[in-house]
Each structure stands twice: as structure tokens, then as C-alpha cells.
């Protein structure tokens, strides 16, 4: 690739060898003409059905500007000659002339599920520092100078210390912010250095010898790629990332790099606005690549698109896609209800919605609970309680709120087969709502086992966790100013808040009806039906704690209740009449409920679903308590055939939402 010095590093030989360590087979093809050369490094991996997944990161590349569509057609035929039937996916990182490409391309189509953004920022390095600073946004210029005044020391090399510190920073940032960024281990970074040599460069900023920011770039010829970066909370406080990029660009210029590719931006994704703002403010040029295109038969495209996310993300970080299932077996639960709950509480990600009593509660409303456990070496490693229904005798729905719990790496086809065997349905739509903090490893494991994120979700995937370990004074200090003000207002009203030892479902229903009527949400009344309220109180008995607020005449104006298991509790009942809203009774009810839960030994109180977009008022109330927002692994689905899930998804979400 010596003649193509501005080609992406992901097409260089060393990158292919690095990916070989992750289970990919590099295939390198060339098209030679009198005056031009076209190259493609293809990473191959076998998919089910004997079809090869052929991934071309950053390519193909060519010394000619036109003719790319023809190169891609020829490339597909060449790959098929070597590996047989294949699904070809190219991510062309060239801002080529679109008119030429689109008018001559009748072979490949725009990828249906792109993994990478086709937008990036090109930063030229030929300007002097002062000239570059002038091209930055005013705020970026301020943050750069602010960061450089903090006495951060910078080390720019690919030595072991830098690699280890960067791996630590990446891991720490993912844990702190629950975000999806490339995470390389120290071992993987060493492997990359071994294959790419001086083409790997890291920068680490340290304050008092502690790393506060760092980044990884890969270099090929005149072009460098911003591959991964992380900054600690302390580093963010001093705008260290701005100083880091300033120092990095200066070092790249000294090394002869002319083009610094800052990597993908996503202008149409609000979740990426912070990263986009950071990259765009340095005065670079926004470019649009040709992006991701694919080719293959209809069947291979369907298969490739279902696997593309997990396979390409595996390639991006040089990790081998996990193969095979752990040695575990799924079977129906044969123990007592008490033993079920005891095992449940020993596994990560458990919740009241997987408890035996919750299953019995839902049984009253037409659902059939199925309880399964996975054992490895006679030890329970995963559990799932599934609520099932049958439709048209051959179609079934398997819905698991809060499940599975335990080791998600065993929650693949064997678990689905066990569920299908228990239901007896010929066709099944599976829905899971995994209620544990989101993690890239767990999400990748779910995708590996065939699960896909639900397009029509029932819940938001967010909740708020309230910490009850502190005293009243400490918890009050965590309240927002408005929440604290309203709480004090409630104590000045003639309201009596107390533990409703024997709650009356009929009276609770009246409060809910008044609230629904006041808010104009009568359509939600079925979620708080008299039958449902009665069932929960009956099933959970003393583990259902309800606080009642009365006015000075003894009339109920608000209530709040929770289900308690061990040292955790879940928000379950919450309602206030119009009078209760005027007197801030909800604030007093919540505060009294927290006191009762703390007396019961509750440490963590799950405040239930949080939806800051569609239910802002409830979200603000919960967030104002000082509770921490947590993003769950959330809703996943699987159906066989796939079309069944697409048809049923919206109806399921509407029915259960």
C-alpha cells in the first residue's frame, strides 16, 4: 500500500494480522491495471449455513478516484471464488465523488444495518499552533488553554506503561458512564503494537502520576485515525481531553502525519451530541464517507444483517467472537417457592418480578408461569420465570419481566428450547426485560445468542435507585431544592401519613380513579384494577408496605406502597387525589414509606420505570429525591420465524405497556 499513503490504516497488513488473533481470516486481493491499483483486505469468518461473512473495514482503496463501483463488483466475485458463498460488507472510508459512484453502482446496496457512522471530521496538521487555535470554536480554545494550565504531564509513545494506563482508563470510563466505546485490554494493545509497530501511538495525560486522560491512534502513511479515548471524572473537571487532543495533534504533525481523522460523528443521533460537539469544535472539516454497502444473495444478506453488529464489533476491538455454550443444562424448577426465592436472591440481576409470588400474581390474569433453572456442576447459575400465553393453539408468547437472572452467557438456544418444550407451542415470540445495569459484555453475550433489542419497547429501560443507607439528614441533603421545599410544605399541612397495616383495595382503587380522571389517563386504569391491587396485597402480605395519607377529616388523599424482599424494595403503588396534589401529600407519603422501608432493613429502593420523555412529571418527582438513574440491559426479543416477531411486536408492547 505504499502508493496509497492516505489509505485507512484498517486496510494495512498489520491490522489484518491483529484481527487474525481475534479469529478472523484476512484475505488480501489486488486489481492491477496499467496506471492504477485497487486493493482490498477482507476479514472473513464463517456464518451458519456455510456462508462466509466478508468484512472490508476502510476499503476497498484505489489509486483512481472513479471506478469504485466496478471495483466492488469485481471484489465480490473474487471473494466468492476463494471462499464460496459470501455476504460482502464494505465500509468505504473515502469521500469519493458520489455522483459517479451512485450512477455506476447497480450491484451493491446501502447497508440496511450500518454499524459505523459515515460522517467524520478531518483535521489537517499543516497549520501552526496559533493558526489552528484561531480556527477552533471560542469555547474549545478556552478549554484547551485551561487544560494546559493544570500542570498535566504528557507521554506520547507506545510503551508498556502507556498501554496499561490506557486500558485502565477505557475500562474505568465504561464502568463510570455505562457507555459503549471500544475497550481494549492491555494484552490486546500489546498485540496491536506487535503487528503495527510504530503505527500504534498512545497519549496519556497524568496529574500527580495518576492518569486522567488518554487516547489511542493508529497511523498509516500520512493519515492517523483516532481509535479510542477515555477521560476520568477528575480529568473532565479540568477539561483534560481538550489539552490531550491539542498535544496529540502537535505530536502527529512532528511525525509527518498530514491528515488526522477524528473518527465517526453521528449528527442525527442525539445520544452522540456530546462527542460530536467535542470533535467538531476543533475546526476540522466535516466529511461524509461513502460508508457501508453490501452484496450477496437475499438469504446471505438476511443472515449477514442479523449477525453484522456483533461480528463487526468483534473485529473492531480484535476480540474473537465467543464460540460454544458453557456446559450447563436447563430444566424446570422442582423445588418449593421459598427455595426458588432463596436461589434467586443469590444471583446477580434478581428482582421482585422474578419472585415466585409475582408469578402466582400474574397467574390470576390468564398467564401461565414457567420456572426454569440452569445448572453447571450441580450449581444453579441462571434462572428465569416466564409468563406465557397461547394464541390460535400453535402460537405462544413468552414474556419474562426482570429475567433472566444470573449468567446471561447460558441464556441462548437451550433456554429457548426449554421454554418451547414447556409451552408446547409450535411458534413462539420471546420477550425479555433484563433488569440489571447495562454492560457491553452482557449486551454482546445476548446478541451472540440470537437476541435482538426490541424495536417496540414496553418500558423505557431506565430506572432510579434510591440509597437508604444514609440517615435522614444525609438523605434530605440529596433532595433537589424544589423537592425539599415541597416536602416541608407537606409537613405544614394537616396531613396524617401512616403505615396502612391492612390496606383496603377498594379505597386504593378510588384514589387511582380520581387521579386517572384528573390527569385524563383513564385508559391506564386497567393497570391499577381492583383485581390487580387485591392480588398483589394478598400474594405479598406483610411484604407489601403501604403508606396512607389522610386529610383532617380522615379521608384518604394519597398513598404509596412497595414490595419488599430481603434488603431491596420496589415501588409498586403511587396515587394522589386532586386534593392530595394541592397539599403535596405525595411527598409526605414517600418520605414516610422510606422510613418504614429503612426500619425493615431495606438498603436499595427501586423507584420503578423512569421515562424522562413521555412521562416527565413522574421522572422529575423520582429524580428529585436524589436517586441515581440506572440504565438496564433492557428489552430483548427472539422469534422463529422472524416475521412473527415483527408482526406481534407492536401489539405486544401496546397490550403489556
Share of the chain above pLDDT 90, in %: 48
What is the spatial distance between Cα 383 and Cα 343, in angstroms, rounded to a whole number? 9
The DSSP-derived string for 499-517 is E-SS--HHHHHHHHHHHHH
- Interior/surface letters 369-402, b for 16+ CB within 10 angstroms, e for the rest: bbbbbbeeeeebbbbbbbbbbeeeeebbbbbbbb
Q: Cα(608)–Cα(623) distance, rounded to whole angstroms?
A: 11
- The predicted pLDDT at position 328 comes to 63
Tell me which residue of 356, 270, 351, 296 sits closest to 564, measured CA to CA: 351
The residues, any chain, with a CB within 8 Å of residue 334's CB and separated by 6 or more, are none
For residue 615, what pLDDT is reported?
80
Q: Is the pLDDT of residue 645 over 60?
A: no
Q: Which of 82-86, 187-191, 438-442, 591-595 has the lowest mean pLDDT?
A: 438-442
Please tell me the least confidently modeled range out of 45-54, 222-231, 387-396: 387-396
What's the rounded Cα separation, in Å, for the pair 53 and 90? 11
What average pLDDT score do residues 199-212 get?
Answer: 94
pLDDT band at residue 306 under the 50/70/90 scheme: confident
At residue 373, the pLDDT reads: 95
Assess whether the region 119-288 and the region 469-602 belong to the same CATH fold: yes
Q: Are 36 and 64 in contact (CB under 8 A)?
A: yes
| Residues in a beta bridge with 294 | 89, 109
pLDDT digits (tens, 9 = 90+) for 97-127: 666 677 667 778 888 878 888 889 999 988 8
Q: How far is Cα 262 from Cα 264, in angstroms, rounded to an integer?
A: 7
C-alpha cell at 494: 394537616
**What homologous superfamily does CATH list for 9-115+290-316?**
Gcn5-related N-acetyltransferase (GNAT) (3.40.630.30)
Q: For strand 368-376 and strand 153-157, is the pairing parallel, antiparallel, or unpaired?
A: unpaired
The yes/no answer on whether domain 119-288 falls in CATH 3.40.630.30 is yes
Element (H, E) at 270: none
Higher pLDDT, 139 or 648: 139
Superfamily of domain 329-462+634-656: Gcn5-related N-acetyltransferase (GNAT) (3.40.630.30)
Distance CA(409)–CA(325), nearest Å, equals: 7
Q: Is 281 helix (H, G, I), strand (E, B) or coil?
A: coil
pLDDT for res 173: 84
pLDDT digits (tens, 9 = 90+) for 424-471: 777 788 999 999 888 877 888 888 888 888 767 777 788 899 999 888
Instruction: Tell me the C-alpha distance between 58 and 225, whole Å.
Output: 11
The x, y and z cell numbers of residue 572, run together, are 409498586
Which residue bears the cell 444514609? 470
Pairing of strands 556-565, 544-550: antiparallel
Mean pLDDT, residues 284-303 taken together: 86
- Give the span between the Cα atoms of 115 and 314, in whole angstroms: 12
Residue 629 has pLDDT above 90, yes or no: no
Q: Are strands 556-565 and 568-576 parallel, antiparallel or unpaired?
A: antiparallel
Is CATH 3.40.630.30 what the domain over 469-602 is classified as, yes or no?
A: yes
pLDDT at position 323 is 44
Residue with cell 422529575: 620
Contact between 368 and 388 (Cβ < 8 Å): yes
pLDDT(3) > 60: no
Q: pTM surpassing 0.75?
A: no
The SS3 assignment for 429 reads strand
Kindly state the average pLDDT of the residues 177-202.
84
Give the 3-state secondary structure of residue 108: coil
Instruction: Calculate what percentage of the chain has a pLDDT beyond 70.
Output: 89
Query: Can you give the pLDDT at residue 524?
Result: 61
Q: Is the pLDDT of residue 653 over 60?
A: no
Model confidence at 657, in pLDDT bands (50, 70, 90)? very low
Q: Where are the beta strands (DSSP E) in 160-274?
A: 200-207, 210-220, 223-231, 259-265
Peptide bond into 561 cis (omega under 30): no
What pLDDT was estimated at residue 2?
A: 45
Beta strand 568-576 pairing with 604-609? parallel
Position 536 pLDDT exceeds 90:
yes
Angle subtended by helix axes 298-316 and 440-448, to nearest 10? 150
CA angle 430, 431, 433 (to 5 degrees): 150
- What single string gives the DSSP state of each residue in 547-606? EEEE-TTS-EEEEEEEEEETTEEEEEEEEE-HHHHHTTHHHHHHHHHHHHHHHTT--EEE
Average pLDDT score over residue span 583-608:
95
The helix/strand/coil state of 436 is strand
Is the bond into 404 cis (omega within 30 degrees of 0)?
A: yes
Cβ contacts of 151 within 8 Å, gap of 6 or more? 207
Question: Locate cell 390470576: which residue?
Answer: 364
Please state the domain extents for the chain: 9-115+290-316, 119-288, 329-462+634-656, 469-602
- pLDDT for residue 324 is more than 60: no
Facing residues of 88 across strands?
54, 295
Let me know: does 467 contact 561? Beta carbons within 8 Å.
no
DSSP 8-state class, residue 627 = P
The Cα 301–Cα 342 span in angstroms is: 46
Using CA atoms, how far apart are residues 404 and 384, in angstroms rounded to an integer?
5
Rounded Cα distance between 405 and 348, Å, is 6
Amino acid at each position: 500500500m505504499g502508493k496509497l499513503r492516505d489509505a485507512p490504516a484498517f486496510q494495512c497488513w498489520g491490522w489484518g494480522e491483529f484481527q487474525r488473533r481475534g479469529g478472523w481470516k484476512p484475505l488480501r486481493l489486488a486489481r492491477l491495471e496499467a496506471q492504477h491499483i485497487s486493493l482490498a483486505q477482507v476479514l472473513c469468518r464463517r456464518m451458519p449455513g456455510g456462508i462466509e461473512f466478508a468484512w472490508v473495514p476502510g476499503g476497498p482503496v484505489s489509486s483512481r478516484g472513479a471506478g469504485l463501483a466496478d471495483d466492488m463488483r469485481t471484489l465480490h466475485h473474487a471473494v466468492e471464488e476463494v471462499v464460496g458463498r459470501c455476504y460482502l460488507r464494505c465500509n468505504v472510508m473515502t469521500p469519493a465523488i458520489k455522483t459517479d459512484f451512485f450512477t455506476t453502482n447497480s450491484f451493491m446496496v446501502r447497508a440496511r444495518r450500518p454499524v459505523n457512522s459515515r460522517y467524520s471530521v478531518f483535521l489537517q496538521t499543516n497549520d501552526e499552533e496559533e493558526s489552528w487555535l484561531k480556527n477552533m470554536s471560542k469555547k474549545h480554545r478556552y478549554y484547551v488553554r485551561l487544560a494546559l494550565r493544570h500542570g498535566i504531564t504528557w507521554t506520547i509513545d507506545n510503551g508498556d506503561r502507556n498501554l496499561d494506563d490506557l486500558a485502565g482508563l477505557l475500562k474505568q470510563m465504561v464502568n463510570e458512564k455505562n457507555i459503549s466505546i471500544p475497550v481494549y485490554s492491555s494484552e490486546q494493545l500489546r498485540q496491536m503494537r506487535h503487528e503495527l509497530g510504530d503505527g500504534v501511538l498512545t497519549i496519556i495525560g497524568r496529574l500527580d502520576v495518576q492518569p486522567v486522560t488518554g487516547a489511542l491512534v493508529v497511523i498509516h502513511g500520512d493519515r492517523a485515525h483516532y481509535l479510542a479515548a477515555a477521560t476520568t471524572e477528575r480529568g473532565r473537571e479540568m477539561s483534560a481531553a481538550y489539552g490531550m487532543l491539542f498535544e496529540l495533534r502537535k505530536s502527529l504533525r512532528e511525525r509527518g502525519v498530514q491528515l488526522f481523522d477524528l473518527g465517526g460523528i453521528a449528527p442525527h443521533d442525539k445520544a452522540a451530541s456530546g462527542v460530536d460537539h467535542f470533535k467538531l469544535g476543533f475546526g476540522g472539516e466535516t466529511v461524509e464517507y461513502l460508508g457501508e454497502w453490501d452484496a450477496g444473495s437475499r438469504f446471505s444478506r438476511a443472515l449477514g444483517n442479523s449477525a453484522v453488529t456483533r461480528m463487526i464489533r468483534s473485529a473492531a476491538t480484535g476480540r474473537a467472537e465467543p464460540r460454544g455454550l458453557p456446559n450447563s443444562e436447563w430444566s424446570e424448577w422442582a423445588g418449593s417457592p421459598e427455595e426458588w426465592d432463596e436461589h434467586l436472591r443469590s444471583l446477580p440481576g434478581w428482582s421482585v418480578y422474578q419472585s415466585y409470588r409475582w408469578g402466582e400474581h400474574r397467574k390470576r390474569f390468564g398467564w401461565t408461569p414457567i420456572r426454569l433453572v440452569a445448572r453447571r456442576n450441580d450449581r444453579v447459575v441462571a434462572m428465569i420465570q416466564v409468563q406465557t400465553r397461547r394464541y390460535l393453539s400453535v402460537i405462544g408468547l413468552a414474556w419474562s419481566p426482570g429475567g433472566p437472572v444470573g449468567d446471561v452467557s447460558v441464556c441462548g438456544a437451550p433456554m429457548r428450547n426449554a421454554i418451547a418444550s414447556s409451552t408446547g407451542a409450535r411458534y413462539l415470540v420471546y420477550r425479555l426485560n433484563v433488569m440489571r445495569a447495562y454492560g457491553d459484555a452482557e449486551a454482546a453475550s445476548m446478541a451472540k445468542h440470537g437476541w435482538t433489542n426490541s424495536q417496540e419497547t414496553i418500558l423505557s429501560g431506565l430506572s432510579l435507585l434510591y440509597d437508604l443507607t444514609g440517615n435522614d439528614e444525609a438523605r434530605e441533603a440529596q433532595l433537589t431544592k424544589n423537592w425539599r421545599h415541597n416536602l416541608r410544605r407537606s409537613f405544614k399541612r394537616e396531613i396524617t401519613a401512616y403505615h396502612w397495616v391492612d390496606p383496603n383495595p377498594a379505597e386504593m382503587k378510588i384514589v387511582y380513579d380520581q387521579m386517572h380522571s384528573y390527569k385524563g389517563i383513564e385508559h391506564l386504569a386497567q393497570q391499577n384494577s381492583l383485581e390487580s391491587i387485591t392480588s398483589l396485597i394478598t400474594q405479598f402480605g406483610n411484604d407489601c408496605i403501604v403508606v396512607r395519607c389522610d386529610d383532617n377529616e380522615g379521608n384518604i388523599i394519597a398513598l404509596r406502597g412497595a414490595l419488599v424482599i430481603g434488603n431491596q424494595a420496589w415501588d409498586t403503588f403511587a396515587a394522589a387525589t386532586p386534593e392530595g396534589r394541592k397539599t403535596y401529600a405525595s411527598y409526605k407519603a414517600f418520605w414516610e414509606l422510606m422510613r418504614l422501608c429503612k426500619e425493615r432493613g431495606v438498603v436499595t429502593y427501586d423507584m420503578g420505570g423512569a421515562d424522562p420523555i413521555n412521562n416527565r412529571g413522574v421522572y422529575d418527582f423520582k429524580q428529585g429525591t436524589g436517586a441515581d438513574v440506572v440504565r438496564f440491559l433492557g428489552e430483548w426479543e427472539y422469534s422463529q420465524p422472524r416475521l412473527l416477531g415483527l408482526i406481534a411486536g407492536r401489539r405486544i408492547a401496546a397490550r403489556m405497556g
